[in-house]
């Protein structure tokens, strides 16, 4: 950063002076040291307490065969179950006793895990947790995990807030229920229990009642009887039984049944619970007709306000004792890997596996992040754009994507001439309250600033204001101050999608640019607010926010598509609202599962049910086999299974189908979907087999067909591919799928005898045109996917989804650009940083000054113990998940001096906007000889795997330089500009590079700063604004390693001589430096180089001539 003043005429009253005679001993970096120390104090809590989960080796109860057959709650009350339970508790107690010895204090388990997991949760400080880790061998625990908060996918509110107490006018849930075949004919969830793990629940809400009282399976006697086995039993204060509808409600953070939250924006759990099991007959305060998906199912609610790992583990554990049928998880951690080695993820994966094996299905939200891409635009060279995460990528979960509710509400303005202008109500206001209102409006010029309202009568009217430049809130406040009753915003970009105006203090709505301009042109400026209700016909639309899902191991997710867009459900205080999110789609799936469970329990023989563990497998296969995939509304191409799974489930079809599909793919949980892996050699060939199982007493025949699709590209189809982009829809391929029976005969139909099953082999062949297209646009490969359909005119159709990858899955790029390479990062560059957030190699003077693009050089660090850049961490931006991330450091001779395994913990723990792996390196800067060598360059290399057991490693590297030497100051002189501004000029050199200087006041405050620029003589020059009285001021000169030399400003020489560099000789170096100073002050010269006399050589004569120029510019020269 160069400081340049507007008053170009500069008069220097200064001189250059050799400072070596009086320079003080190099001082510590006072300001930067203080900054880092304060940063660490502000960001570190020494009293912080962590939840530590310790697991033991013995199996939890749910892993015993009897528990999987009977149910864990039933098993624990048998003689065998009692014996197993007591054994677990005894060993947990023994561990607690040993912990007390190690920690020298009493230790109590905050949670005991005995059903899904065998372990305890205790609270420890950081030093205590380190002590426990040190004593791991003697303590004998199996695993240890410092728990942390999980991530909750955003639940986006729509612009349609609800109010209670009005008469029902339209059916807000009927069309969504009808599309999934849930009209009540096949049950209402009677005899089933849906568990919801979420943030809060208003359990007094009118929506949470039984449709048929007296039919609930979980009784108060059972809940109270099983409570001593629950994870919170030691701290339970009262009964968790609330009502027949809510037989168990627990707050896992305070051990009470009070899960109500006063914060108005924390309403997620109440909304989700209502979708799953709300009873519409009790919803007297709802504006619209409404019903949950399983209105007579019981609801178990497990309050986890902060969704911390240790409370989630406890909730899952208790689900087993309560023997719920299905667990709703409208939350997740995005960016974490399938089968990573992180303890928390291993615990969660094992817990989910144990629940499903014990007969409890887990439904998980697929996420609301669309794709892993900047602004939604994925790179064609980056096919790994799905966002892996937990629990939704665990094979045993039913992962749910979101479709838009067919029911919608539109608000419009009807003009005097009959024109209709459709828009979105301003956030926080109610369309119902504006219905039928007539109002005048006034057109406001400009942007809606306060000045724009001057001279315009808006009293009692609506202001029509263009969007842009200032916030909706500011525009609306200006309108309110001018007397407006409301405000109508119109967009400022043609064709852009509308969004509700957030922050407006006035009612009104947002309309398009075209409609706003049309309203402004109308002669009669009056409008009437109109509200329209509509039910979308035909196929539903996939929600724009729903995440693309394909695990980092190339396994296919999600599983189903349910309605999560614009869903009306309960919120606290007997109110109702519309929300959007896969969080809203998931409880619909949970409710539908409960209805199927209600039916399948009555037909165990038909479906081959022998124990509790059989239910999840058969019900998931029924739901997925009979689902209905949807197509893109524009291209009419079927939507990728990575976006919608097998499509929208249908209860009627699932229960009426005589057959279902299953596979032998363990990675796909044997469901009717197949992950085919990659075609690394690009042959265009895939093959697989599936089975059709007939559970009826009648033979059934199906006709086989398929959809074969892949990613599409939008662009101009020219040789210049810079404007090509991934399309939001699929492309039909011209290849084909052929089928054969178990005898190898090609078939077009498959017949399955009563009570039997048939094996079908499928062969996918891409055409040359397909492969040419893929090779042209997708250098690192792309997907070949689609659906196999089995159609029967008299019975529900069946289907199977499949996904293969054309190309090598290992070829997709791993690392984003490195900060130090100068390349443009797709997300955020990889960089090194130290305590205090200081980025190695980045100019801190530029950073402190707020420069948008601070100067960057190679990373330096200084392991000298002064607290500034002594050590560093690595922030790596990964374009995809990796395993076994390892950092190695080599010296200039190629010898390995340090190696650190970062593992899977944090290797991709991130969301789509910040996919960072942040690892603190333990390297102390020492070489193989045990010494720190200042001035030496080292190479840091990354290695990692894309698949956990693969042999292919990916490498990246960068250089790092050690510099422990303080800068050497050559000269310091003072001067002033024509307007009297005091200036301080510093010339310094360093073993590495000078980054700049800070001017510090006597009270330790930063007075001014500037970055350095090259002096052309191996050093650097810095110009600082200085005070008129320099007494007590210090200048701190920094190199890029954070080393600092401190000089009193008052010692700077107030005169100028020819020896600008301070080396005792007036020569060409002084001329070059003088020219540098002149250029920095924007002094106009009639020479453009240090060769001032133009004799072809830069000598002392040039320095003398430059001094003469200074004299001509009214510079008073001193004498040496």
Residue 254 has pLDDT above 90, yes or no: no
Q: At a CB cut-off of 8 Å and minimum separation 6, what does 1000 contact? A: 30, 31, 1006, 1007, 1033, 1034, 1035, 1036
Residue 610 has pLDDT above 80, yes or no: yes
791 and 839 co-located in one domain: no
843 and 950 co-located in one domain: yes
Q: How far apart are the first and last CA of the chain?
A: 32
990 within domain boundaries:
no
Give the Cα separation of 509 and 488 in Å (integer).
5
State which H helix or E strand residue 643 sits in: helix 641-644
106 and 245 co-located in one domain: no
* Arithmetic mean of pLDDT, 879-888: 82
218 and 137 co-located in one domain: no
Q: At a CB cut-off of 8 Å and minimum separation 6, what does 330 contact? A: 153, 155, 196, 198, 268, 272, 365, 581, 582, 583, 584, 586, 587
Count of beta carbons in the 10 Å neighbourhood of residue 704: 17
Please report the pLDDT score of residue 374 as a whole number.
56
Residue pair 846/814 in contact by the 8 Å Cβ criterion: no
Residue pair 308/149 in contact by the 8 Å Cβ criterion: yes
Buried b (16+ CB within 10 A) or exposed e, 112-126: bbbbbbbbbbbbbbe
* Arithmetic mean of pLDDT, 907-934: 73
1068 within domain boundaries:
yes
542 within domain boundaries:
yes
Asked which of 201-210, 248-257, 1105-1114 is least confident by mean pLDDT, the reply is 1105-1114
1023 within domain boundaries:
no
Count of beta carbons in the 10 Å neighbourhood of residue 656: 14
Find out whether the peptide bond into 391 is cis, omega within 30 degrees of 0: yes
Give the Cα separation of 332 and 1054 in Å (integer).
65
> What are the helix and strand counts (H, E) for the chain?
23, 51
Give the Cα separation of 772 and 217 in Å (integer).
60
The tens digit of pLDDT for each residue in 642-659 reads 999 999 999 999 999 999
What is the number of alpha carbons within 13 Å of residue 683 lying toward its C-beta?
Answer: 10
Backbone φ and ψ for 736, nearest 5 degrees, come out as -140, 165
* Arithmetic mean of pLDDT, 1039-1060: 76
Q: Residue 811: which pLDDT band, with cuts at 50, 70 and 90?
A: confident
520 and 542 co-located in one domain: no
Sheet holding 156-157, edge to edge: 156-157, 575-580, 567-571
* Dihedral sign computed on CA atoms, order 23, 24, 25, 28: negative
763 and 686 co-located in one domain: yes
Say which CATH number the domain at 687 has. 2.60.40.1710
Residue (of 302, 364, 312) closest to 334 by Cα position: 364
979 within domain boundaries:
no
Give the Cα separation of 425 and 159 in Å (integer).
6
Backbone φ and ψ for 546, nearest 5 degrees, come out as -60, 135
Residue pair 986/969 in contact by the 8 Å Cβ criterion: yes
Please report the pLDDT score of residue 1112 as a whole number.
41
pTM of the model: 0.81
Please report the pLDDT score of residue 1087 as a whole number.
36
Residue (of 386, 167, 371) closest to 284 by Cα position: 167
389 and 507 co-located in one domain: no
Total domain count for the chain? 6
Residue 681 has pLDDT above 90, yes or no: yes
Asked which of 962, 986, 1014 is the last residue of a domain, the reply is: 962
Asked which of 486, 508, 535 is the last residue of a domain, the reply is: 535
849 and 784 co-located in one domain: no
In this structure, the strands spanning 361-365 and 398-404 are parallel
617 and 470 co-located in one domain: no
Please report the pLDDT score of residue 37 as a whole number.
65
Please report the pLDDT score of residue 720 as a whole number.
59
Please report the pLDDT score of residue 9 as a whole number.
20
Asked which of 201-215, 316-330, 1063-1077 is least confident by mean pLDDT, the reply is 1063-1077
Q: What percent of the chain has pLDDT over 70?
A: 82
DSSP structure string for 831-874: EEEETTTEETTB-HHHHHTT-SS--B-S-EE--SSSSSSSS-EE
Q: At a CB cut-off of 8 Å and minimum separation 6, what does 103 contact? A: 124, 128, 131, 132
636 within domain boundaries:
yes
Say which CATH number the domain at 1097 has. 1.10.1330.10
Q: Compute CA distances 715 → 321, 400, 632, 768, 858, whole Å.
A: 56, 32, 19, 21, 38
Residue 640 has pLDDT above 90, yes or no: yes
Say which CATH number the domain at 82 has. 3.30.70
Give the Cα separation of 556 and 551 in Å (integer).
7
The tens digit of pLDDT for each residue in 895-915 reads 999 998 876 543 443 333 344
Gyration radius of the chain over CA positions:
35
Residue 1019 has pLDDT above 80, yes or no: no
Backbone φ and ψ for 982, nearest 5 degrees, come out as -75, 140
Residue (of 827, 399, 879) closest to 643 by Cα position: 399
Residue (of 359, 532, 347, 510) closest to 423 by Cα position: 510
Residue 507 has pLDDT above 70, yes or no: yes
What is the number of alpha carbons within 13 Å of residue 989 lying toward its C-beta?
Answer: 13
Report the DSSP beta bridge partners of residue 899: 888
Backbone φ and ψ for 572, nearest 5 degrees, come out as -55, 160
Please report the pLDDT score of residue 1028 as a whole number.
82
Residue pair 389/517 in contact by the 8 Å Cβ criterion: no
Residue 627 has pLDDT above 90, yes or no: yes
634 and 613 co-located in one domain: yes
820 within domain boundaries:
no
429 within domain boundaries:
yes
The tens digit of pLDDT for each residue in 867-878 reads 888 889 888 888
Say which CATH number the domain at 842 has. 2.60.40.4070
Asked which of 914, 929, 962 is the last residue of a domain, the reply is: 962
445 and 594 co-located in one domain: no
Cα maximum dimension of the chain: 114
Residue 1071 has pLDDT above 70, yes or no: no
Say which CATH number the domain at 312 has. 3.40.50.200
Query: Which structural domain range is residue 1076 located in?
Result: 1056-1119
* Angle of CA points 595, 660, 597, to nearest 5°: 15
513 and 646 co-located in one domain: no
* Average pLDDT along the chain: 85
């Amino acid at each position: 950063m160069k400081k340049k003043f507007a008053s170009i005429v500069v008069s220097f009253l200064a001189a250059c002076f050799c400072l070596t005679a009086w320079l003080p001993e190099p001082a510590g970096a006072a300001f930067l040291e203080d900054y880092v120390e304060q940063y660490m104090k502000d960001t570190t809590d020494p009293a912080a307490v962590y939840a530590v989960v310790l697991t033991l080796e013995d199996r939890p109860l749910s892993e015993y065969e009897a528990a999987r057959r009977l149910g864990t709650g039933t098993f624990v009350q048998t003689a065998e179950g009692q014996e197993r339970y007591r054994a677990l508790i005894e060993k947990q107690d023994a561990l607690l006793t040993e912990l007390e010895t190690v920690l020298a204090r009493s230790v109590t388990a905050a949670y005991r895990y005995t059903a899904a997991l065998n372990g305890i949760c205790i609270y420890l400080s950081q030093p205590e947790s380190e002590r426990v880790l040190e004593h791991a061998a003697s303590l004998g625990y199996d695993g240890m995990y410092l728990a942390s908060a999980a991530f909750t996918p955003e639940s986006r509110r729509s612009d349609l807030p609800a109010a209670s107490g009005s008469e029902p006018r339209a059916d807000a849930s009927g069309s969504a229920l009808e599309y999934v075949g849930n009209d009540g004919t096949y049950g209402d969830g009677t005899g089933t229990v849906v568990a919801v793990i979420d943030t809060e629940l208003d359990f007094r809400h009118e929506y949470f009642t039984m449709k048929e009282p007296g039919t609930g399976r979980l009784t108060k006697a059972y809940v109270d009887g099983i409570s001593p086995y629950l994870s919170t039993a030691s701290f339970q204060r009262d009964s968790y039984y609330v009502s027949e509808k809510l037989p168990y409600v627990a707050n896992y953070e305070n051990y009470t049944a009070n899960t109500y939250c006063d914060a108005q924006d924390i309403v997620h759990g109440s909304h989700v619970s209502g979708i799953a099991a709300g009873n519409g007959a009790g919803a007297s305060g709802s504006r619209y007709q409404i019903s949950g998906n399983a209105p007579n199912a019981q609801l178990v609610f497990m309050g986890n306000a902060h969704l911390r790992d240790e409370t989630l583990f406890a909730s899952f554990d208790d689900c087993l004792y309560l023997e719920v049928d299905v667990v709703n998880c409208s939350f997740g951690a995005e960016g974490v890997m399938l089968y990573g080695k992180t303890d928390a993820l291993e615990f969660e994966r094992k817990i989910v596996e144990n629940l499903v094996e014990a007969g409890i299905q887990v439904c998980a939200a697929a996420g609301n992040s669309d794709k892993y891409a900047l602004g939604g635009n994925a790179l064609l060279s980056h096919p790994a754009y799905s966002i892996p995460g937990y629990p939704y990528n665990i094979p045993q979960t039913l992962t749910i994507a979101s479709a838009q509710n067919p029911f919608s509400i539109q608000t419009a303005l009807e003009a005097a001439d009959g024109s209709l202008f459709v828009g979105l109500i301003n956030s926080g206001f109610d369309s119902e309250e504006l219905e039928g209102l007539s109002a005048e409006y006034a057109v406001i010029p400009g942007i809606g600033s306060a000045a724009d309202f001057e001279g315009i009568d808006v009293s009692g009217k609506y202001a029509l204001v263009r969007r842009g430049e200032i916030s909706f809130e500011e525009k609306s406040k200006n309108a309110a101050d001018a007397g407006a009753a409301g405000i109508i915003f119109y967009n400022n970009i043609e064709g852009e999608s509308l969004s509700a105006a957030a922050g407006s203090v006035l009612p009104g709505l947002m309309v398009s640019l075209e409609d706003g301009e049309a309203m402004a042109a109308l002669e009669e400026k009056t409008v009437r607010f109109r509200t329209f209700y509509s039910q979308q016909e035909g196929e539903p639309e996939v929600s724009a926010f729903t995440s693309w899902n394909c695990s980092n191991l190339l396994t296919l997710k999600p599983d189903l598509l349910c309605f999560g867009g614009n869903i009306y459900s309960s919120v606290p205080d007997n109110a109702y609202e519309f929300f959007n999110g896969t969080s809203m789609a998931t409880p619909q799936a949970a409710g539908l599962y409960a209805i199927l469970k209600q039916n399948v329990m009555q037909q165990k023989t038909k479906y081959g049910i022998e124990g509790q563990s059989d239910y999840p497998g058969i019900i998931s296969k029924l739901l997925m086999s009979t689902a209905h995939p949807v197509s893109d509304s524009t291209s009419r191409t079927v939507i990728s299974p990575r976006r919608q799974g097998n499509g929208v489930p249908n209860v009627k079809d699932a229960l009426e189908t005589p057959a279902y599909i299953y596979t032998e793919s363990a990675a796909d949980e044997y469901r009717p979907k197949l992950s085919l892996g990659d075609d690394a050699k690009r042959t265009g060939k895939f093959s697989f087999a599936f089975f059709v199982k007939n559970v009826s007493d009648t033979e059934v025949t199906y006709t086989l067909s398929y959809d074969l699709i892949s990613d599409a590209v939008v662009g101009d189809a020219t040789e210049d591919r810079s404007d090509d982009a991934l399309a939001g829809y699929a492309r039909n391929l011209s290849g084909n799928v052929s089928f054969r029976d178990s005898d190898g005969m090609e078939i077009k139909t498959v017949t399955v005898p009563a009570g039997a099953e048939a094996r079908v082999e499928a062969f996918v062949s891409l055409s040359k045109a397909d492969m040419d297209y893929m090779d042209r646009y997708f250098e690192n490969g792309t997907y070949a996917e689609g659906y196999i359909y089995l159609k029967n005119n008299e019975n529900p159709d069946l289907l199977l989804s499949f996904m293969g990858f054309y190309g090598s899955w290992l070829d997709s790029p791993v690392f984003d650009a490195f900060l130090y390479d100068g390349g443009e990062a797709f997300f955020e560059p990889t960089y090194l940083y130290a305590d205090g957030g200081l980025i190695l190699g980045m100019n801190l003077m530029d950073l402190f000054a707020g420069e948008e693009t601070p100067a960057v050089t190679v990373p330096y660090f200084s392991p000298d113990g002064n607290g500034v850049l002594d050590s560093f961490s690595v922030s790596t931006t990964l374009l995809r998940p990796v395993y076994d991330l390892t950092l190695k450091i080599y010296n200039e001779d190629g010898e390995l001096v340090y190696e650190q395994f970062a593992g899977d913990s944090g290797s991709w723990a991130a969301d789509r906007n910040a996919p960072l792996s942040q690892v603190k390196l333990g390297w102390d800067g020492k070489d193989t000889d045990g010494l720190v060598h200042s001035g030496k360059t080292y190479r840091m290399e990354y290695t990692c795997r894309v698949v956990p057991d693969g042999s292919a490693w990916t490498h990246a590297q960068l250089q790092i330089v050690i510099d422990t030497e303080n800068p050497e100051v050559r000269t310091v002189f003072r001067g002033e500009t024509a307007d009297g501004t005091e200036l301080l000029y510093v010339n310094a050199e360093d073993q590495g590079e000078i980054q700049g200087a800070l001017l510090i006041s006597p009270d330790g405050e930063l007075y001014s700063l500037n970055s350095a620029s090259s002096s052309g003589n191996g050093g650097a020059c810095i110009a600082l604004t200085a005070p008129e009285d320099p007494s007590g001021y210090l200048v701190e000169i920094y190199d890029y390693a954070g080393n600092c030399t401190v000089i009193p400003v008052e010692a700077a020489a107030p005169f100028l001589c020819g020896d600008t560099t301070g080396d005792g000789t007036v020569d060409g170096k002084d001329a070059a430096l003088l020219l540098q100073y002149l250029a920095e002050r924007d002094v106009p010269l009639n020479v453009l180089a240090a060769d001032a006399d133009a004799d072809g050589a830069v000598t002392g004569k040039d320095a003398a001539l430059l001094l003469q120029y200074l004299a001509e510019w009214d510079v008073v020269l001193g004498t040496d």
